[in-house]
Amino acid sequence: MTNYMMERSRHRQQLLTRWDDRKLDAYAGFIDRVRAGIFLAVQLYEHREEIRRSERSEAEMIAEMAEAERYRGRSFEQIMLLGGDEVVEAAHELHAAVRAVDWQATGKTEGTLEEWRERNRAAFREINEFHEAARVDLGVQGKVTGENHPERDLLLPAARREGEGAAG
């Protein structure tokens, strides 16, 4: 009986570890795809607003963003399957914030440069919220926000901070 109980406990622990490994991969993959999509949106926005022209056409950049969105959606589905309640909710909030960035980049919504920057700030705040929820779900101690980790702003060159044009 003791051997059975020990074997059962060991098997349970292996399953938990396996699922934690899969969760970690899913969470990291989702964030990677989110960030990649944001950077594509920045390139398109800067091109459309003539802040920094791209050698690629607008149509090529939009197609690349659509492909990135498809992959982000697949990653989101993994979160829906593996994530705890708080992680799933954080993923929904993050997805909504990133869509707002995408929509302004593609011209589906209008906005000023400051509104563009605020949409990007919001997306990165939601990334941090997702990180927090994922860390709790995985049992990782500590936080990535709060008193020990003050909120950081967008990294912009000095000229861009002074209003000479920029994206996030």
pLDDT tens sequence across 89-138: 999 999 999 999 999 999 999 999 999 999 999 999 999 999 999 999 99
What predicted TM-score, i.e. pTM, was given to this entire model? 0.78
CA distance to 76, 127, 148, 150, per residue, from 145 (Å): 23, 11, 7, 6
pLDDT of residue 18: 66
> pLDDT tens, 69-87?
999 999 999 999 999 999 9
Q: What would the pLDDT profile of 134-147 be if each residue is shown by its tens digit? A: 999 999 887 766 66
pLDDT classification of 3: cutoffs 50, 70, 90 = confident
For residue 146, report the phi and psi dihedrals to the nearest 5 degrees.
105, -165
In the chain, domain spans: 2-146
Kindly tell me the burial class for residue 84, based on how many C-beta atoms sit within 10 Å of its own C-beta (0-12, 13-18, 19 or more): middle
DSSP 111: -
Question: CATH 2.20.28: does it fit domain 2-146?
Answer: no
